[in-house]
Amino acid sequence: MLNIVKNTTFVGPFDLLAPHSCRGCGHIGNAFCDCCKNNIIFEHENYCPNCKKLNPTGKCSHCKTLPPIFVAGSRQEILGNLIHDYKYHSVRALAFPLADILNGILPHIDGEVIIVPLPTINRHIRTRALDHTYLIAKHLKKLRGKNYRLEKLLLRENNTVQVGANEKDRIEQASHAYKINQNLKIDSSKTYLLLDDVWTTGASMKSAVKKLRQAGAEKIIISILVVNRLN
């Protein structure tokens, strides 16, 4: 039962510092310094969030129905604290280092790539004054170069909050969470890079993949910042 206490709710010494102190080492200047950021990229090992097995190529041999998945880390590590501060304390300055970490762990992708952030509930965007996944996607697009575009291809179908719901409820809710934005067209020659901050049960992401495939997307890659528990 002790696992219920997440370290992301713990107020550490650096949480009390000014927004522009590094959450990793306390160095003044950036919300997360280059050195701490590069450490995460350098030490990164890719895991499949679905079966928790090492997954260096992104394509998990155990989870055959899933597209390749790239995960930056675990919520129980410093990345989890960064996302918590970014999302719940609206520390916008963390959007860039978080995008840069994703940039560092993602492989080179040939051809045209469309970044598709999983949409956040409107109410949360309003209360946080931040569309957190979209903002990371915007930075990621700039970091990745000319063959990348950003599209709000997925829209919210319902606004049910998943936090606290059990796994069965989450899967049920997630199956109605998204719809395809009919103003945009899916092109099967392009790669769709789905982006979300946290993988808990994977229900949201699996639902998003299903919607994209039904609409004709053939090449899909998933990128996630943190998995709730890797072990």
**Would you say 59 or 128 has its CB closer to Zn ion?**
59
**Selected range binding Zn ion among 49-57, 76-84, 118-126, 132-140, rule: CB under 5 A:** 49-57
Using rule CB under 5 A, residue 22 touches Zn ion: yes
Instruction: Please answer whether residues 69 and 49 qualify as being in contact, where contact means their C-beta atoms are separated by less than 8 angstroms.
Output: yes
Residues between 63 and 122 that touch Zn ion (CB under 5 A): 63
Tell me which of 8, 14, 24, 208 binds Zn ion, using CB under 5 A: 24
**60 belongs to the binding site for Zn ion (CB under 5 A):** yes
Residues 6+ apart with CB under 8 A from 57: 46, 68
CB of 75 to Zn ion, least distance (A): 18
Torsion of CA 108, 148, 36, 72, to 10 degrees: -70
Check binding of 20 to Zn ion (CB under 5 A): no
25 near Zn ion, judged by CB under 5 A: yes
Distance CA 43, CA 67 (A): 23
Q: Are strands 69-74 and 219-227 parallel, antiparallel or unpaired?
A: parallel
Nearest to 217 by CA among 154, 142, 145: 154
- Give the interface segment with Zn ion, choosing from 61-69, 83-91, 116-124, 143-151 (CB under 5 A): 61-69
Residue 51 binds to Zn ion (criterion: CB under 5 A): yes
71, amino acid identity:
V
Residue ranges binding Zn ion (CB under 5 A):
22, 24-25, 27, 33, 36, 48, 50-51, 60, 62-63
